[in-house]
Structure 1
């Protein structure tokens, strides 16, 4: 799990950056669940599932 602070609303957002299967990966965008601000992109085979740790 990685954490990043949203530059728009200041929330601390945690997201999953791990991959399970090596061959089926793609880039997924991570947006803030609080204000929908773009935070980063993750190269993964799953969904980053961002959630707020601290507002």
Structure 2
């Protein structure tokens, strides 16, 4: 349990530092508009069916 919490905290800190740096470089409004689109695109890509998975089932 302790490793899970430590790993989550480490990833969250790395993403927070990266996001704040990008916000400083590109502007907060740009990131506020682009990030939700990128997350939605990733979610759609991960939920589409894969032909190899259909063959294996």
Provide the TM-score with structure 2 as the length reference: 0.23
Q: More strand per residue: 1 or 2? A: 1
Q: Which has the higher helix share?
A: 2
Higher relative contact order (CA 8 A, sep 6+): 1
Q: TM-score, normalised by structure 1?
A: 0.23
